[in-house]
Amino acid sequence: MAGTQFLSEQVLLTTLVVKLAVIAALATMLVRYRRFRHILIFERRLWPDRLAFALGLGIPLAAGVAARLLLNYNAADLTLEGSFLAGLIAGPYAGATVGAMVGAAPIFNGEWVALPFAIGCGFAGGGLRELCPKEAIWHFSPFVFTTLHRRAWQMIRSLQVDWQVLLLLAPIALEVSGLALGARWRNHHRLFMLMPTSIRSTVFVLLATVLCVATPIKIWNNARIEHRLQEQDKLLLAAKLEALANQISPHFLFNTLASISSLIRTQPDTARMLIAKLSGLLRRLMRSTDHFVTLREELQSIDEYLDIEVVRFGPQLRVDKQISPDTLEVIVPSMILQPLVENSIKHGLARKVGGGRITIAAVLRDRHAIIEVRDDGLGMSEERLERALSGGIGLSNVNERLQTIYGAHYQLKLTSVPGQGTCARMVIPELAVSERVTA
In this predicted model, what pLDDT tens digit does every residue of 173-190 receive, in sequence order? 999 999 999 888 776 678
Higher pLDDT, 148 or 239: 148
Query: Sorting pLDDT into bands at 50, 70 and 90, what band is 433?
Result: very low
pLDDT at res. 127: 93
pLDDT by residue (tens digit) across 292-307?
Answer: 888 988 888 788 778 7
Higher pLDDT, 56 or 390: 56
pLDDT at res. 246: 53
Q: What is the dihedral of CA 158, 159, 160, 166, to 10 degrees?
A: 120
Question: Is the model's pLDDT at 215 over the cut of 90?
Answer: yes
The mean per-residue pLDDT over the stretch 155-160 comes to: 79
Alpha helices in 262-324 (DSSP H): 268-287, 295-313
pLDDT by residue (tens digit) across 348-384?
Answer: 676 666 668 889 999 999 889 999 999 888 887 777 7
Higher pLDDT, 350 or 20: 20
Are 292 and 431 in contact by the 8 Å Cβ rule? The answer is: no
pLDDT by residue (tens digit) across 313-335?
Answer: 666 778 889 999 999 989 888 77
pLDDT by residue (tens digit) across 89-146?
Answer: 999 999 999 999 999 999 998 899 999 999 999 999 999 999 988 888 988 888 877 7
pLDDT at res. 63: 94
pLDDT at res. 106: 93
pLDDT at res. 248: 47
Give the whole-angstrom CA distance, residue 83 versus residue 193: 15
Are 87 and 95 in contact by the 8 Å Cβ rule? The answer is: yes
Question: Is the model's pLDDT at 235 over the cut of 70?
Answer: no
Mean pLDDT: which of 20-34, 140-154, 344-358 is highest?
A: 20-34
Give helix 295-313 / helix 268-287 axis angle, nearest 10°.
Answer: 170
pLDDT at res. 381: 78
pLDDT at res. 171: 94
pLDDT at res. 155: 78
Pairing verdict, β 413-417 and 356-365:
unpaired
Least confident of 9-18, 208-217, 309-318: 309-318
Averaged confidence pLDDT in the chain: 82
Are 162 and 151 in contact by the 8 Å Cβ rule? The answer is: yes
Higher pLDDT, 241 or 111: 111
Query: Sorting pLDDT into bands at 50, 70 and 90, what band is 439?
Result: very low
Question: Is the model's pLDDT at 434 over the cut of 60?
Answer: no
Give the whole-angstrom CA distance, residue 184 versus residue 178: 10
Query: Sorting pLDDT into bands at 50, 70 and 90, what band is 236?
Result: low
Q: CA 83: distance to chain centroid?
A: 29
| DSSP secondary structure letters along 245-265 | HHHHHHHHHHHHHHHHHTTTT
> Three-state SS across 64-75?
HHHHHHHHCCHH
pLDDT at res. 286: 61
Query: Sorting pLDDT into bands at 50, 70 and 90, what band is 432?
Result: very low
Question: Is the model's pLDDT at 75 over the cut of 70?
Answer: yes
Question: Is the model's pLDDT at 343 over the cut of 90?
Answer: no
Q: What percent of the chain has pLDDT over 90?
A: 31
Higher pLDDT, 42 or 40: 40
Query: Sorting pLDDT into bands at 50, 70 and 90, what band is 437?
Result: very low
Give the whole-angstrom CA distance, residue 269 versus residue 277: 13
pLDDT at res. 438: 44
Question: Is the model's pLDDT at 247 over the cut of 70?
Answer: no
| Predicted structure pTM score | 0.61
Question: Is the model's pLDDT at 408 over the cut of 50?
Answer: yes
Query: Sorting pLDDT into bands at 50, 70 and 90, what band is 436?
Result: very low
Are 328 and 286 in contact by the 8 Å Cβ rule? The answer is: no
Domain chopping of the chain, boundaries = 2-231, 262-429
Helix (H), strand (E) counts: the chain: 15, 7
The mean per-residue pLDDT over the stretch 335-348 comes to: 80
CATH superfamily of domain region 262-429: Histidine kinase-like ATPase, C-terminal domain (3.30.565.10)
The mean per-residue pLDDT over the stretch 5-15 comes to: 77
pLDDT by residue (tens digit) across 389-402?
Answer: 766 667 887 888 88
